[in-house]
Structure 1
């Protein structure tokens, strides 16, 4: 089972301003989730690309890295339990993870000064699946006026890129889903050329039809802003966009679009998270 590790930096300001920076420890790839007065955004600085969401994030379900969300989970669970152990106050509460129903409970650790220290998210067999460790807490932090602004965050993040980013022009190794719904199979595969790149379109047919598109991406000179009706979610080791019938994400310099009108959100994520490399033999 794959394990993903991130360096996490979370900021909050009254009037519902949030900033969450996630830097993948393996790839050094950073993405930023922003909520400000204009909406909810996910920034991918390496490509100068931003998704804008029509979303209730972060209030639509549990957010393991947000203090407000965790406190709300504690207050909302009338069957919560509490214990004091090894210098910590530990709450055990129900988690609300509708896109991953196997995540059942949260263990939320506070120190004696009520600083948030750790969160463990457990599956149905009480096994930890997600663990967040909070190194520092600053409840009196002050922010510059444009700290939660999209363009400022993108400009700062891009100026901090430590190496030149390049993207592929060909799809050498395509990705294929290891999970398929019952009685569903790959019916058609096409490889097409686009301006400065390639696109592979896989059509799956059977009891549940869906289409998976993988294509090379671009690095934009001017920030690319794309509106999405959905929610930001983890897909593999990146943050993507999930709607009731589709998912969109960027991974390892490739863009993926999964259109799944016959599935629900859980099944969409099951297919998306099962992608693995299949060696290309060229052609269709």
Structure 2
């Protein structure tokens, strides 16, 4: 059997890329019997019938999978956030970062509409950017008609499978059009065409950008914590994870426990107060979540 990656799924067919060609494959009935479904991004074994047809025989283990868009084995997400209209929101950004960390998806933060800020606002934002860079995140800033963004972004896409994420109205469609001009998606109309907030029949496809692959959809616009347990939240805050090794108690939730390294770092000013406040808010939300049966 040959092996390849599913680049596109449409109308019951899976288009598997291997050695420069796309093989149109059907899934075996055994997947339906198991309640499994091949996803774009899956590494699969397939058998070939004829020149360009075949059957998907096996789905290799996934490192992650998303529901919207339905895609697997994502390496990174470009988190697109505007700094104005709508205003930059660290609570929402941290929410996205936490969920991406929980899926082992590397975030790249891209801040748009920098040209709408005053000098004082730019200075205040620069402090936040420095905070996130100190944690270890890559942060890009851009503005309308910025002709340097692509040369800064393209190297980050090399050898990676990437998706876009962010609120509506922040410039995701503009960025996607710039990266994949063949899509010709109309700015401002993407939410309607994709059925924002609803399941949609529009297919997802991975398209080559240099030596990387990019999903041809603006992706998700909101996240929740349904799959994250309270004990796992620390690992979704990289600076907390590094510090937690020095907490007195294993499994420390960094709230009321004595000799907590995170709270000690917070008191020393080594953890940003707003990041800790967001952690507390998210922890409370997880703890108040209704049990799943």
* TM score, norm. by length of structure 1: 0.26
Higher share of residues assigned helix: 2
The structure where strand makes up a greater share of residues is: 1
TM-score (norm 2): 0.25
